[in-house]
Amino acid sequence: MELDYPHTCPIIDDGISDAHNSIERAFEDFVSDLSHEAEVKFPNYIVNELIGRYTDALHEEIEYIFEKVRRTNSEMRDAANRQLSQLEEEISILRDELELAKRGSVY
């Protein structure tokens, strides 16, 4: 028997993607606000290159957090599966003992 819960990697992958998109939007907003406040219009190719570069850099800085969550989830699943196997074994032993007791046998 194994843990009856779906794997969380797809959820974590979605979180990584969402974080990347949020970072990108934040940099886009920052550049837009900066342009407005400084009353400067930056060329689109420069804006896009800077947003892409800084988005990727920040994403790389925080991605390890998601990977730690992924690793922890995997370790928890492995521990749960080991515990379930141990419980199945104990149940099997108890069933055998119960059957022997029902027959009036003494160990």
**What does the pLDDT look like over 6-40, one tens digit per residue?**
888 899 999 999 999 999 999 999 998 988 888 88
Tokens representing 68 are: 């730690």
Place of tokens 């988005």: 55
CB environment 6-15: b (16+ within 10 A), e (fewer): eebeeeeeee
Instruction: Please give the model's pTM, rounded to 2 decimal places.
Output: 0.69
Q: Do residues 59 and 23 touch, judged by C-beta distance below 8 A?
A: yes
Tokens describing residue 105: 């046998």
62-97 confidence digits (pLDDT tens): 999 999 999 999 999 999 999 999 999 999 999 999
* Residues listed for the chain: 107
